[in-house]
Structure 1
């Protein structure tokens, strides 16, 4: 197995350019060197511009006892390699054959050996994938059949046999419960927060609650006795709620961008509720999205409750045109009632 190496955002290790000249004896190695340089250069430039350019695009997991199967991986590996499972390709791992880590967790990752020209990677980075017919784009050209390679996708537990972080894409985590591995709810690095993620639903629900809070605050009569911070919060809250909506609804926003919007919301709500000290921002961990998003969303929920503590919601039913019946909860003290159509 390749010795573990840390993922770098620089250009160190980039293969040298091939010296081409007239009359040279061409070997497959010349083209392998040139191809590897082009591939690694593009990935290195992208990584330097955007370190979090990699992650999952699609994932389907199935579990049968101790066996976990990935049926539809589509992702960009940390080293920039795009990977897609072939038709009907299923990747499986039996957790009964692997020991959990010191925390009692099986950490499953997709592994692809790093690109290297200094040695033959083991397992190989690519596997032969039969032949394909390629059309000659020149007028009058003939089609030819060529052999092709595809990334060698493997499922590993932990770091497998010494894989480096740049060779691993975290997928899922399981913890033993009653003798059976149980999904921990782990959310790995996704390139976008889509509707298939629990996080998307929670962020969308927060946006709806804050939109209602904005409507309530905007309807309050102008009162000089209200704290200045609370009065100043309204335009900031409106702008941030709309920004959150625009990014959350399509389900195409990168987690780091969404995290930044939620962090601005946290600061705005803390200031608007009169906090003397700003809350500590949870650390954003791209390899474990729930670890950063969950405490951040919990803090936003708590501040939202402080923002409009004098409102309670109760269902109502229509009795006819412009006539409604509502069953308010048992309040300990009189509260305002807010009707929303």
Structure 2
């Protein structure tokens, strides 16, 4: 709560008024919220919420159940059928916005305004409670008039100075209304929540990579390939370093979003070893009102980094012509990262493969002639990093490269051509293959 009511100065013989007990009760509530905020500034939020899906599709937000704590420490527990229905038609509010999107809040009147305590009516509503017996004797039940929270639903257009808790975001599309991906502020991030399931999925995929790399390590050790074995051990160490912390925090069911976010940042630091030259971006501090946005950035980076370890792929051979290799790509995305392997004759060095591809022209078929006349190489390429190469089970005669396929010289709907260098080189590949990730990986 923003302000703390003064303590009542009790003394013998004083004339008791309702204000004495009201002020004392308000101070106790405010003091509890003050201490909770001192321990954790983000102690508030939604614990559970459920809306009527059929009403939501028509633009009406109708609360079926909601439990949580308002930012000023007031607990709320709402159930459909108990008290007035809590609902809001967002059609007019959406029409008044530029992007046809609104945020729906649970709002309640503030206790203070301009440094003055306000009457409780409006913030709370008085109701006659169930008959309550004397708690000492268990006898003489009497109905007592009590205060209960009096919340309402609003959007960002009319929340004014209310104490607000964001619940969901809604957009109007094609004449209908749909909720957007949004995680409301919450004091606990549970495994069954949308973010919790995504984190659990990331951890599960990481463990699949462990199984795959464990098999690759055994193969490298049996073959006496110490360089690959050393690289695989480094990757396994990076993957294992912080994963148990994330799994343990999530499965504890008491993890706060901020603490779990910090664990994920630690995991990102450990996984940076999978691509040391790329490093780790400077992730923004977590915004409690935009949990989904903050987590998305970190999780996307972790998911992309994990995919550097490919546990399943298939190879597609290029068709060999007189002076070129060509293939019709299986994917029609306008921008692609293509992994190719040059299978060289026995005894050919890695440098021979590098020299051959450096002198070749790489582009979609219609552009080869123009690039040849202009003595241009077409699409850029580079040698695959050592850390990524160990994930591909290829023979010693295969050299791996990465082609960045995008821009003027690339059309995914046309055959990709690698035209042989004009100069005659000592060694040239007898086959070129394209490596494509499987739809589902298996160890």
Same fold (TM over 0.5): yes
The correspondence for 2:71, drawn from 78, 84, 91, is 78
1:212 match: 208
Residues 121 and 65 of structure 1: CA distance in aligned 2, closer, same or farther (over 3 Å): farther
Selected match of 1:39 from 17, 29, 49: 29
Q: Which runs of 5+ in 2 are unaligned?
A: 318-340, 344-391, 395-440
Structure 1 residue 131 corresponds to structure 2 residue 129 = yes
Aligned to 2:16: 26
Q: Distance in 1 between matches of 2:141 and 2:80?
A: 24
Mark the CA change 1:198 to 1:47 in structure 2 (over 3 Å): closer, same or farther.
Answer: same
CA distance in 1, matches of 2:39, 2:229: 43
- Number of residue pairs matched? 311
Equivalent residue, structure 1, for 2:61: 68
Structure 1 residue 163 displacement after superposition: 2.7
Which contiguous aligned blocks of 4+ residues in structure 1 show a shift greater than 6 angstroms? 227-230
Query: What's the CA shift for 1:272?
Result: 3.5
Give the distance between the partners of 1:97 and 1:122, measured in 2 at CA.
Answer: 30
**Superposition deviation, residue 18 in structure 1:** 0.3
* Residue aligning to 1:321: none
- 2:161 and 2:271 mapped to 1: Cα distance? 43
Contact 2:57–2:177 (8 Å) recurs in 1:
no
Instruction: Check if 1:201 corresponds to 2:197.
Output: yes
Query: Taking structure 1 as the reference length, what is the TM-score of the superposition?
Result: 0.81
Alignment partner of 1:150 is 2:207:
no
**CA deviation digits over 1:131-181, x for unaligned, max 9?**
2322323348643321111100110111624134xx111001112212333
Could you report, residue by residue, the CA deviation over 1:40-93 in whole angstroms, capped at 9, with x for unpaired residues?
A: 011011101101101111111221412111110100111111100145244110
Higher radius of gyration, 1 or 2 = 2
Matched, 1:336 2:329: no
Q: CA deviation at 1:246?
A: 2.0
| TM-score, normalisation: structure 2 | 0.63
Secondary structure of the structure 2 residue equivalent to 1:22: coil
Q: Does 1:284 align with 2:286?
A: yes
Shift of 1:182: 2.2
- Distance between the aligned counterparts of 2:108 and 2:229, measured in 1? 57
What is the match of residue 181 of structure 2? 185
